[in-house]
Amino acid sequence: MRIRVETRAGQAGAETPHRFCFDGRDVKIAEVLDEWPGADYRYFKVRGEDGNLYILRLDEPRAEWELTMFQVPMAGARAATDSQ
């Protein structure tokens, strides 16, 4: 899913996501948990101020961002306790 991302200068001047918008929702990033390179991509695992986890992918040659994963942390915990 394509998203609109606002960035700011991070380590060594590289741009990191600060806020993003998808499906009419505006999510401010509370914390960048991890960052790693891929072939022509950079990935960011972030926690939004809404408490959800997201993985954002930057297509560097095209300067396009995508949301590749969205997780509500409590959903997994509820499913584990419901099955016991």
Q: 45-63 pLDDT, tens per residue?
A: 999 999 999 999 999 889 8
Per-residue confidence (pLDDT) for residue 11, from 0 to 100: 65
| The residue count for the chain | 84
d(CA 24, CA 8) in angstroms, rounded, equals 22
d(CA 66, CA 59) in angstroms, rounded, equals 8
d(CA 68, CA 66) in angstroms, rounded, equals 6
| Domain locations in the chain as residue ranges | 2-82
pLDDT band (50, 70, 90) for residue 15:
confident
- 3-state DSSP assignment of residue 46: strand
Tokens in use for 72?
């509500």
